[in-house]
Amino acid sequence: MEMGEKSVIFFDIDGTLLREDKTLPTSTKKAIFALKEEGHEVAIATGRAPFMFEDIREELDIQTYVSYNGQYVVLNGDVLYTNPLHTEALIRLTEEAVSHEHPVVFMDHADMKANVPPEHSFITESIDSLKIAHFPAHDPHYYKGRDLYQSLLFCPEGSEERYERNYPEFDFIRWHPLSVDILPKGGSKAIGIEKIVEKLGYPKERQYAFGDGLNDIEMLSEVYNSVAMGNAVDKVQSVAKYVTKSVEEDGIYHGLKLVGLLK
């Protein structure tokens, strides 16, 4: 296959590669390896931290990824781009959160630490829903002397509005009834993808992305061949070029056939 015929394909994880119960469909695994055998570049684009999907990278043999919704980007195992949080604003936000009894978890590329004992019910309920092996330990000063790429603010729905008003340095994306992602303002998976495709030199016609969540909207809007999963909400489906079946119905396999990457 000539370079001009090779493509790069970015896959979200939760609700795209993985079912709701966090299992990987056999058809998806076979489809990913079929792409690789054809010489295509396969990458991940996720809101997760790098340490939250090591198992998937290993199982699918993927070394290129956009993590933290674009804030930490790795190409073939090497860090290509980072966009850390504004430290001083994060310290102020954490102080305000403490006064409202809203826990905060600090996250870098390697680990996550909570500013309160992590047995707090808001933390356990939301982190447990991810079904991951990692759970934050307690270190209220984890922000000192290191770059953080995301934080988690634990607060009931609606109470994040105060923080949105007070901290314009950040974007706030709710992912659980009790938890909100704190990200650098304007960061997105689309920016992380742009860094990778610039480096690899794929033309826009050979770029593909699959996603299902609200944090995939920029990616699906900007990647030329975008595919929304059948389980995505209407708002996400409306920005994609194609819509495949749901993750529960072998959506990745069907989507790759739909766009002509698999026969």
Among 3.50.50.100, 3.40.50.720, 3.60.20.10, 3.40.50.1000, what is the CATH number of 3-82+187-258? 3.40.50.1000
pLDDT of residue 133: 73
- The residues annotated with a catalytic role in the active site are 12
Cα–Cα distance for residue pair 126/176, rounded to 1 Å: 6
Specify whether the CB–CB gap between 232 and 211 falls below 8 A: yes
The CATH class of 87-184 is alpha beta
What's phi and psi for 154, nearest 5 deg? Answer: -105, 110
Residue 174: per-residue pLDDT: 86
What's the CA gap between 96 and 99, in Å, rounded? 5
pLDDT tens, N- to C-terminus, the chain (263 residues)? 444 589 999 999 999 999 999 999 999 999 999 999 999 999 999 999 999 999 999 999 999 999 999 999 999 999 999 999 999 999 999 999 999 999 999 999 999 999 999 888 999 988 887 777 788 999 999 999 999 999 999 999 999 999 999 999 999 988 899 999 999 999 899 999 999 999 999 999 999 999 999 889 999 999 999 999 999 999 999 999 999 999 999 999 999 999 999 98
Domain ranges of the chain: 3-82+187-258, 87-184
Query: What is the pLDDT at residue 132?
Result: 74
What is the dihedral angle through the alpha carbons of 257, 260, 262, 263, rounded to the nearest 10 degrees? 90
Task: Tell me how many degrees the CA angle 118-134-155 measures, rounded to the nearest 5.
Answer: 40
pLDDT in the model for residue 118: 85
pTM (2 decimals)? 0.90
SS3 per residue for 2-26: CHHHCCEEEECCECCCECCCCCCCH
Task: Output the pLDDT for position 131.
Answer: 73
The answer to whether 161 and 155 have CB atoms below 8 angstroms apart is no
| Helix 26-37 and helix 251-258, axial crossing angle in degrees, nearest 10 | 40
- What does the pLDDT read at residue 159? 94
The two structure tokens encoding residue 126: 């939301």
- The pairing of beta strand 170-176 with beta strand 179-184: antiparallel
| Per-residue confidence (pLDDT) for residue 1, from 0 to 100 | 40
Rounded-to-integer distance, Cα 26 and Cα 247, Å: 11
Please state, in angstroms and rounded to a whole number, the distance separating the CA atoms of residues 111 and 72: 13
- The angle formed by the CA atoms of residues 19, 213 and 135, to the nearest 5 degrees, is 65
Sort residue 181 into left (φ over 0), alpha (ψ -120 to 50) or beta.
beta
